[in-house]
Structure 1
């Protein structure tokens, strides 16, 4: 099942998603972007930066409504980021609002976070791992499993708070209960579907989903009943969604120093830089809180970034949340019946590794035959021209993504047209200043292209038609215009180009055709004159002949009339007999 829905018809091949994808999990096919699911870490950046909203998140809202309509017992696991992302007077009102939607119980995901904190604490005390990377962020887990699999031994072999909480809720309410996670993260959808986590999470909603649903039901959180969360007080574990929240939770539960240095990293670029640093062996003996979202989960891709200040939320949460940990006896009861381990896998893609000859062949096709031709401008989305060439070979990118190359190609084609076109091509602006002038114009107007580009159109020809087209935005098609001073006849097409606010004209030389037509017309006039003379002469002869034949004709007429009458009379006698 897909997580991000892609609308190809909206994609304008701007490559902004490619430029902003730190792992280059977006491929360009037929000039349209496509997400490579086996390489995507679901950081959501492509959704946030897409100027045409071509990428949207697939929602489980209808699925959850279906659970409730059918009558399934449905429990919601509420991520602690709700404390900064939802509007309420008391936390219990969030509980009350969600229950009004039909959920049988509302629990805080921080209950699962408390268990995860306990597991991290155990790993710190054991001290057997060289480095420990927290595994609460599914995007970080994907980043390492797909792109830095050699760092897998540093991943804490522990499930995320969401999965841990799902296990706990299924154990408490029964496996038939539907568990829905509510948070700001889109990667949680993929994590919920991971077969390593069983069916502990049945659906994932984000805060945009829930606010839309509340609005549809005309429910305002601030007006709802205050129903306190009474099952477990997660205390400091509610800080998980803000930067340094996991480290704070671990420090609140440690009984003694463990020897690990602790720090946090957030933001995709910083996480990648840290992974590279660890590969170089620069990091050792550290407990590292890693979060893909810059600012922590409260700045997740499914949160309202425009109206959310991570600084204010962090300050407010750190000020109001209790800093002590959950008592050991409460946690131990959970561990008596459940385990929360996880095994991470090497999921590195097996891409084609091109040869140097193949790379050079692709570079050559985009006009890069020398090292200095490789601009490495990044307009295509790749850092270097070589990196983009590799992507072309791997079928992730296309040749025409190179903006400088396409610009040069367009210019060369434009110049080719202007230099080789047999027709006169003119482009003028609103002031009738000549902006473009084909080379063939010198043959007819006696001005080179360089000279013409410094002139106004009225210095060459009459501008009446051009001005009319510019003023009315209507076109002139197939109009014959003769310039006597240049001894040229033309067939003109003149149009207004709205985007550039210019007038474009093409003049086809029809001088020879017009001369041939003139000559043919003159021949027709000569033929008509000759025919008229012949007709006149024949009329004169006919009149003379008629005069001579006048008497004979009269006698003949009388004789024939008598003969006809005689024949008619003979016919009448036969009928009587």
Structure 2
């Protein structure tokens, strides 16, 4: 299923999402970015990075509103991150707000986290695993299963708090209720709705940003509401799950009698830190550790579905640790409700089996973009890949396109422009708003007897009259098909001068018509000579006509009129005279 959607019309030749994606789960095809669902870990970084807002989270909000509109009993499981993300005077005001939206019951996901904590403590006590990586974060789970499958043996075989809570609610209320998860994460949607190991326990996933907007539309002000107590037993320390070290705090606080288990404990947050750790673990450099892993820097309170700029993870961590006691659950029968529920989950190798090119195939691809030598491989990263070789592999696998190499395309564009400037027989001159010469074609070098580099150091009026160029710059109206003669250069041109809006520049294209004009002048001379001969014939005819006027009568006048028209027709069939400029 798709969790992130793309608007194709807005996505073109940017590659910022590719550069941002640490696992390169974005394919570019026909100049459009596409998510590769089997490789995406749903960190949400591409959503933040996209400058055109071409990517969007595919929402379940309308589905949830549909449940409420149809009066279906709907229970919402609210992630403990709400304690640091939403604005309230007392936490119970948030519960009241959700009830006013129409939810039948509001339960805290931290309730499910308590059962996850218990499972972690069981694994620690058993001590059978060399390392234990927490599996609360679906994005971390995806990262390991897809990209570091050798580490799946270290993944705690335990459900996430969301799924654990869904199982608990489903047992209590059956399949007649709808269960909605509210949190800061987008990867929960895939875990809830398309992972065959966990599907069926959560019916829909919405996030805090969506609920904030929903409350605004319904004119519900959390701060103005009365307090409603939680509708679940107090999960105590397990409310700390969404902050960094929150899982460790829960595990340590819940451990019976503070017994030692022999595992070193630490937490790692942020995708780059997770990748660094997992690479180290693959090399066998980490052992005997219990590791809290979260893909978002600062934990779930900085999830991709949260306005991260408006939240200080340090302040939230301090506030939540101060407000939430690091104490275990005290309710006597808390765990009895789930005695028949299995929170076991098996993690597997889901790594993609992409074909790898040979070294010769990589070289062949690199040659196509002008990289024939090692020094040609700039490894600039503009395409999104860390090296030209990695980009070539992506091209081979159909994930990237040759044209994504920006230096190559720049050189190609420059070379094509130079070919046009060098090979065209026309004089091409481009000037900026100050009449400084920007481009100067090969033909212009020949006609004006100045090299291109020298010409680009000059203003147009240093070479020719710039009046027409100035007029086009001011009026933004083109001058087309104007004949201009440069007498001292022996050159006659047919000029098209146009304004270029994008660069606020003026482009002149001059066609050399000197030979054509000379031929026209010669043809005109022949016509004049012919006219003179015709005039002599007319004069002679008139003389003869006068002698035989009596005989010809009115035909004489008709002859004169006809021959005169012939003469005028020939004379008027001349050529346009060009403007003369120095």
Q: TM-score range by the shorter chain?
A: over 0.9
Q: Deviations over 1:145-189 (max 9, x none)?
A: 111111101000000000000111111112111000000100000
- 2:77 corresponds to 1:77: yes
Does structure 2 retain, via aligned residues, the 8 Å contact 1:77–1:107? yes
2:392 is aligned with 1:378: no
Query: For 2:354 and 2:56, how far apart are their aligned partners in 1?
Result: 27
Pairing 1:229–2:234 present: no
Q: 2:533 corresponds to which residue?
A: 530
Partner Cα separation in structure 1 for residue 516 and residue 412 of structure 2: 36
Task: Give the structure 2 partner of residue 571 of structure 1.
Answer: none
Separation in structure 1 between the aligned mates of residue 532 and residue 319 of structure 2, nearest angstrom: 107
Answer yes or no: is the 8 Å Cα contact 1:97–1:225 preserved in 2.
no
Structure 1 window deviating more from structure 2 (518-527 vs 106-115): it is 518-527
Q: 1:87: which partner in 2?
A: 87
* Residue 404, structure 1, aligned to residue 402, structure 2: no
Summarize the Cα distance change of 1:75–1:478 in structure 2 as closer, same or farther, 3 Å threshold. Answer: same
Partners of 1:331 and 1:292 in 2: how far apart? 30
**3-state SS, counterpart of residue 547 of structure 1:** helix
User: 2:119 aligns to what?
Assistant: 119
3-state SS in 1 of match to 2:206: strand
Equivalent of residue 302 in structure 2, options 299, 304, 321: 299
Structure 1 residue 141 corresponds to structure 2 residue 141: yes
What is the aligned length?
Answer: 550
Asked whether the equivalents of residues 115 and 331 of structure 1 are also in contact (C-alpha less than 8 Å), the reply is no
> What are the Cα deviations for residues 109-149 of structure 1, in whole angstroms up to 9, with x where unaligned?
00000010000010000000000000000000001111111
**Contact 2:157/2:344 (8 A) holds in 1:** yes
CA contact (8 A) 2:168 2:338 kept: no
1:220 aligns with 2:221: yes
Q: Which residue in 1 is equivalent to 2:209? A: 208
Aligned residue number for residue 108 of structure 2: 108
Q: Distance in 1 between matches of 2:390 and 2:471?
A: 52
Maintained 8 Å contact 1:178/1:202: yes
Q: Does 1:289 align with 2:292?
A: yes
Take 1:18 and 1:229, find their aligned partners in 2: how far apart are those partners? Answer: 43
Give the structure 1 partner of residue 345 of structure 2: 342
Shift of 1:493: 1.7
Deviation at 1:548, TM superposition (A): 4.5
1:5 alignment partner, SS class: strand
Which string of whole-angstrom CA distances, capped at 9 and with x for unpartnered residues, describes residues 58-91 of structure 1? 1111100111111210000000011111111111
Residue 503 of structure 2 aligns to a residue in which SS? Answer: coil
Q: Deviations over 1:422-457 (max 9, x none)?
A: 111112223322222112223211212233222221
Contact 2:107 2:231 in 1 (8 A): no
| Whole-angstrom distance in 2 between the partners of 1:525 and 1:248 | 108
Distance 1:230 1:98 in 2: 12
Distance 2:552 2:117 in 1: 137
> Cα distance 1:168–1:149, how it changes in 2: closer, same or farther (>3 A)?
same
Larger displacement relative to structure 2 (539-548 or 277-286): 539-548
Match of 2:470 among 464, 467, 471: 467
Q: Report the equivalent of 2:312.
A: 309
Q: Tell me the distance in 1 between the aligned counterparts of 2:264 and 2:277.
A: 15
Give the corresponding residue for 1:60.
60
Q: 8 Å contact 1:80–1:241 — kept in the other structure?
A: yes
3-state SS of the aligned residue for 1:175? helix
8 A contact 1:134–1:156 mirrored in 2: yes
Offset at residue 499 of structure 1 (A) = 2.6
- Contact preservation (8 Å) 1:114, 1:331: no
Q: Which runs of 4+ in 1 moved over 6 A?
A: none
Matched, 1:15 2:18: no
Deviates more, 1:200-209 or 1:495-504: 495-504
Q: Which SS does the other structure have where 1:59 is aligned? A: coil
Moved more, 263-272 or 472-481: 472-481
- Please report the RMSD computed on the Cα atoms of aligned residues, expressed in angstroms: 1.4
In structure 1, stretches of 5+ residues that fail to align are 551-577
Offset at residue 227 of structure 1 (A) = 0.7
Partner residue, 1:430: 433
Q: What is the TM-score with the length of structure 2 in the denominator? A: 0.92
d(CA) in 1 for partners of 2:390 and 2:231? 55
- Which residue number in structure 2 is paired with residue 175 of structure 1? 175
Which position in structure 2 is the counterpart of 1:279? 282
Say which of 390, 395, 398 aligns to 1:395.
Answer: 398
Q: 1: CA distance between counterparts of 2:333 and 2:495? A: 90
Secondary structure of the residue aligned to 2:197 is helix
Distance 1:491 1:426 in 2: 14
For 1:483, the equivalent position in structure 2 comes to 486
What are the superposed Cα offsets for residues 376-421 of structure 1, whole Å, 9 maximum, x if unpaired?
Answer: 1111100011000000000001111111111111222222222222
Residue 329 of structure 1: CA displacement? 4.1
Is residue 233–residue 334 contact of structure 2 (8 Å, CA) maintained in 1?
A: no
Superposed displacement of residue 328, structure 1: 7.6
Distance 1:327 1:342 in 2: 27
Aligned to 1:185: 185
The structure whose Rg is larger is 1
Counterpart in the other structure of 2:558:
none
Greater alpha carbon shift after TM alignment, 190-199 vs 237-246: 190-199
